[in-house]
Amino acid sequence: DIQMTQSPSSLSASVGDRVTITCRASQGISNSLAWYQQKPGKAPELLLYAASRLQSGVPSRFSGSGSGTDYTLTISSLQPEDFATYYCQQYYNTPLTFGQGTKLEIK
């Protein structure tokens, strides 16, 4: 199985901050990576796929980059509604696997 490791596990930031979350795969995944946002009691929502492609309807302050084994999710200017938990997911191989999550909290 491909292991996905996110860092940090938690992060405190303020509205307006720029934040970056990192996801590292245990082997190369050729940009077969998605990012999700999950709020308490809700299902995850797809933000980006193919490492850098923005899902329809997702604000442009979200962006993704990376290659090989290392990928990042960047939020350019945090908004109040962005405080949530973020997960990466690889779909290069089955079983599909997720990172452990990064909880983004208000400072």
Partner 1 sequence: QVQLQESGPGLVKPSETLSLTCTVSGGFISTYYWSWIRQPAGKGLEWIGRIYISGSTNYNPSLKRRVTMSVDTSKNQFSLKLSSVTAADTAVYFCARVPTGGDSFDIWGQGTMVTVSS
Binding site for partner 1 (CB under 8 A): 1, 32, 34, 36, 42-46, 49-50, 55, 87, 89, 91, 94-101
Q: Smallest distance, Å, CB 56 to partner 1?
A: 9
Q: Measured between alpha carbons, how far is 19 from 11 in angstroms, rounded to an integer? A: 9
Residue placing its CB nearer to partner 1 in the complex, 77 or 93: 93
Q: Smallest distance, Å, CB 73 to partner 1?
A: 14
Q: Measured between alpha carbons, how far is 92 from 101 in angstroms, rounded to an integer? A: 19
Residue placing its CB nearer to partner 1 in the complex, 30 or 77: 30
Residue placing its CB nearer to partner 1 in the complex, 80 or 95: 95
How many C-beta neighbours within 10 Å does residue 103 have? 14
Q: Smallest distance, Å, CB 3 to partner 1?
A: 12
- Phi, psi for 51 (deg, rounded to 5): 70, -40
Q: Smallest distance, Å, CB 38 to partner 1?
A: 8
Task: Give the SS3 label for residue 24.
Answer: strand
What would you report as the CA-atom Rg of the chain, rounded to the nearest whole angstrom? 13
